[in-house]
């Protein structure tokens, strides 16, 4: 029974890492870079950094690409 608790915690941790990666899509590192850094460190360290930094100026969001 104790092993199931660890499994649930691991799944929740990965979900937080995926959500952090999704927030990093418009950043220079993109989804995978942000996701990997969140896995290695913790999403609770990466998330405030993402919120304090601006999106990459070189990329245009998907909502603007479709309408042009």
What does the pLDDT look like over 7-63, one tens digit per residue?
899 999 999 999 999 999 988 888 999 999 999 999 889 988 888 887 877 655 555
Predicted confidence at residue 5, as pLDDT, reads: 77
Split into its structural domains, the chain has a count of 1
In the chain, pLDDT over 70 holds for what percent of residues? 79
Domain of residue 7 covers 2-67
Block residue for tokens 């092993």 = 3
- So what's the pLDDT on residue 54? 78
Query: What pLDDT digit, counting tens, does each position of 20-30 carry?
Result: 999 999 888 88
Q: Provide the b/e sequence for 21-50 (b: ≥16 CB within 10 Å).
A: bebbbbbebebeebbebbbeeebeebbeeb
């Amino acid at each position: 029974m104790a092993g199931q608790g660890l499994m649930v915690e691991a799944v929740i941790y990965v979900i937080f890492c995926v959500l952090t990666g999704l927030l990093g899509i418009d950043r220079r590192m993109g989804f995978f870079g942000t996701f990997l850094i969140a896995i290695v460190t913790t999403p609770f360290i990466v998330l405030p950094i993402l919120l304090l930094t601006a999106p990459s100026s070189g990329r245009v969001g998907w909502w603007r690409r479709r309408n042009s």
